[in-house]
Structure 1
């Protein structure tokens, strides 16, 4: 399993979440919403401190990570984070590892 962040998505993290060098950003399974992966669950994102990270990506000295306890959500898929210019929001897609 891998995390992939597009250049435009990285810019969004800098601007909207005020992400800077040394910050740590977690992707996690949250109850509510819907996703192509699971009904009643969607992907959340927050600044956080890693506890038991299973997947990490360093990009411009920012750590993006997924905790072991959230691996079930991805079901063996890689996470792709891109930015949609029309909706002005992040988009998540999943591809089998």
Structure 2
């Protein structure tokens, strides 16, 4: 039940989306299409610029990355680590030992 974004991944988001300091990047669940998750038929999407009711939040390189309270179930049993590998962002779900 942890959420993290590596410094390298944060820099990628800053470059790709031309983010200014204190920008908000929200990760949310979608039913059709997007970034695969550990849940069949549910995908991860993202939106830039929205402030919300963040239950999981990290600030990296002055950018606020978060998961809204409505999507908290996504991390009920898993951790989500967002990392940059081979110049591409990877969304890594691992089973949480916290529960």
User: Would the TM-score normalized by the shorter structure come out above 0.5?
Assistant: yes
RMSD: 1.8
Q: Which residue of 1 aligns with 2:77?
A: 76
Q: How far did 1:36 drift? A: 4.3
2:25–2:63 Cα contact (<8 Å) kept: yes
Alignment of 1:38-57 (within 5 A): 38-57=39-58
Q: Which residue of 2 aligns with 1:94?
A: 93
TM-score computed with the length of structure 2 as normaliser: 0.81
Q: Distance in 1 between matches of 2:24 and 2:37?
A: 25
Greater per-residue strand proportion: 1
Number of residue equivalences: 95
Q: Which consecutive residues of structure 1, in runs of 5 or more, have no partner in the other structure?
A: none
Q: Which consecutive residues of structure 2, in runs of 5 or more, have no partner in the other structure?
A: none
TM-score computed with the length of structure 1 as normaliser: 0.83
